[in-house]
Amino acid sequence: MGEGVLRAVPGPGPGRDSKADEPLMRDLVGAALRRARLRQGRTLRDVADRAQVSLPYLSEIERGRKEPSSEVLAAVCRALGLQLVDLVGALHVDLTSKTTVTVSVTARAAATANWGQPRRDAGRRGGQATLTLLAA
């Protein structure tokens, strides 16, 4: 690495749209709730009735169109037999499995890291090596 110092640079790289890289919390929550419901073989109606929320509202939550209040979220989790920690754990897995870090190292320059999708030209070119790390 020569004289360079390895530093992580958080956020999107130059010219990248940060909104496109970061999923919305309501999308992640909705997807996790839907997966839990489908794994249990339950219908929207069954879970909505048990959680005491309307079926259309639960559908909107699962599709990421509505952000539920903490009370509604707790009711839906209870209806699914989940604890909040189960939902948060699922969200953690979803977020970390989609995060990549690209680290570039040259002989004379400091290393840099770009958070997000790996570069298309990843690999070894002209004295520069690029390494893509996937978060576990």
Q: Are residues 69 and 112 in the same domain?
A: no
The pTM assigned to this predicted structure is 0.60
pLDDT at 126 over 80: no
pLDDT per residue over 79-110, tens digit each?
Answer: 999 999 999 999 999 888 765 444 455 555 44
Spatial strand order of the sheet with 112-115 comes to 112-115, 100-106, 128-134, 124-125
- Residues 112/7, Cβ–Cβ less than 8 Å: yes
- CA separation (Å) from 9 to 3, 16, 39, 102? 18, 14, 38, 10
Nearest alpha-carbon partner for 87 in 97, 78, 100: 78
Here the CATH number for the domain that contains residue 42 is: 1.10.260.40
Q: How many structural domains comprise the chain? A: 2
Structure-model confidence comparison of residues 48 and 105, the more confident one: 48
Its domain, for residue 82, covers 25-97
